[in-house]
């Protein structure tokens, strides 16, 4: 079965046009779909863990700032809604 991905077609067209198509550009062609899915899931889990860690660190910093008297310059209560809807510009 031949892959029909646009990436494969682009790599082939580049190759046929005489451009250097290195293994770096095509190494993913040798990766079985199952392996790619597992790698993507692991990467997603790792990214979620990193995001959670960053969020925890930011919350710690904000807690320290607040415990030392920090007050935000804009609070949600300061926002006035006039019923005209959100400004998208």
Residues 35 and 64 in one domain: yes
- pLDDT of 2 > 60? The answer is no
26 with 11: CB under 8 angstroms? Answer: yes
pLDDT surpasses 90 at 11 = no
Residue 89 has pLDDT above 70, yes or no: no
* Per-residue pLDDT tens digits for 36-86: 788 889 989 999 999 999 999 999 999 999 999 998 888 888 888 887 776
Confirm whether 45 is domain-assigned: yes
Asked if residue 62 and residue 35 are part of one domain, the reply reads: yes
Residue 37 included in any domain? yes
Q: Identify the pLDDT of residue 66.
A: 92
Domain limits for position 26: 1-30
Burial class (CB in 10 A: 0-12, 13-18, 19+), 8: middle
Q: Are residues 61 and 40 in the same domain?
A: yes
Give the global pTM: 0.47
Domain count, the chain: 2
Do 25 and 40 lie in a common domain? no
């Amino acid at each position: 079965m031949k892959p029909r991905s646009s990436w494969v077609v682009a790599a082939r067209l580049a190759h046929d046009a005489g451009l250097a198509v290195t293994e770096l550009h095509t190494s993913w062609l040798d990766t079985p779909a199952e392996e790619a899915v597992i790698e993507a899931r692991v990467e997603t889990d790792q990214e979620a863990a990193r995001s959670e860690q960053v969020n925890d660190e930011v919350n710690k910093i904000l807690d320290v700032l607040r415990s030392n008297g920090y007050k935000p310059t804009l609070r949600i209560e300061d926002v006035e809604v006039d019923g005209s809807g959100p400004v998208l510009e």
